[in-house]
Structure 1
Amino acid sequence: MASRTKDANGDDDIALALSLAGELRVLGGKLKRRMREEANLGDLTFSQTRVLILLEREGPATVTALARAEGVRPQSMGETVASLKTAGLVSGEPDPVDGRQTVLSLTAACRKALKANRAAREDWLFRAIRAKLAPAEQKKLATGVELIRRLLDT
Structure 2
Amino acid sequence: MSDDVDLPAIATDFRVALGQLIRRLRQQSHTSDLTRSQTNVLGRLEREGPATANELARAEGMRPQSMAAIVGALLEAGLVSGTRDPRDGRKTILDLSQQARDEFRAGRLAREDWLAGQMAAVLTDGEIAHLASATDLLRRLAES
- TM-score, normalized by the shorter chain, greater than 0.5: yes
* Higher Cα Rg, which structure: 1
Offset at 1:12?
Answer: 0.8
What per-residue deviation string (whole Å, max 9, x for no partner) do you get for residues 29-78 of structure 1? 10111111012250111110111011111111111111111121111101
Corresponding residue to 1:145 among 119, 135, 138: 135
Write the distance in 2 (CA, Å) between the matches of 1:90 and 1:152.
28
Name the SS for the 1:93 alignment partner. strand
Q: What is the correspondence of 1:21-36 to structure 2 with a 5 Å cutoff?
A: 21-36=11-26
Q: What is the correspondence of 1:70-149 to structure 2 with a 5 Å cutoff?
A: 70-149=60-139
- Asked whether the equivalents of residues 41 and 114 of structure 1 are also in contact (C-alpha less than 8 Å), the reply is no
Count of residue pairs brought into register by the alignment? 143
Q: Which moved more, 1:73-82 or 1:131-140?
A: 131-140
- Asked whether the equivalents of residues 67 and 74 of structure 1 are also in contact (C-alpha less than 8 Å), the reply is yes
The percent identity for this pair of structures is 50
- Give the TM-score, by structure 1 length: 0.86
Residue of structure 2 equivalent to 1:67: 57
Q: Counterpart amino acid of 2:4?
A: D
- Asked whether the equivalents of residues 94 and 102 of structure 1 are also in contact (C-alpha less than 8 Å), the reply is yes
Aligned CA RMSD, in angstroms, stands at 1.6
- Asked whether the equivalents of residues 90 and 106 of structure 1 are also in contact (C-alpha less than 8 Å), the reply is yes
Q: In the alignment, is residue 19 of structure 1 matched against residue 4 of structure 2?
A: no
Q: Counterpart amino acid of 2:116?
A: F
Write the distance in 1 (CA, Å) between the matches of 2:57 and 2:46.
16
Name the SS for the 1:126 alignment partner. helix
Name the SS for the 1:80 alignment partner. helix
Offset at 1:124?
Answer: 0.3
Q: Counterpart amino acid of 2:46?
A: E
Q: RCO greater where, 1 or 2, for CA within 8 Å and sep 6 or more?
A: 2
- Asked whether the equivalents of residues 41 and 113 of structure 1 are also in contact (C-alpha less than 8 Å), the reply is no
Structure 2 residues without counterparts, runs of 5 or longer: none
Name the SS for the 1:12 alignment partner. coil
Instruction: Give the direction of change, closer, same or farther, for the CA distance of 1:95–1:147 in structure 2 (3 Å limit).
Output: closer
Write the distance in 1 (CA, Å) between the matches of 2:31 and 2:81.
17
Q: Counterpart amino acid of 1:12?
A: D
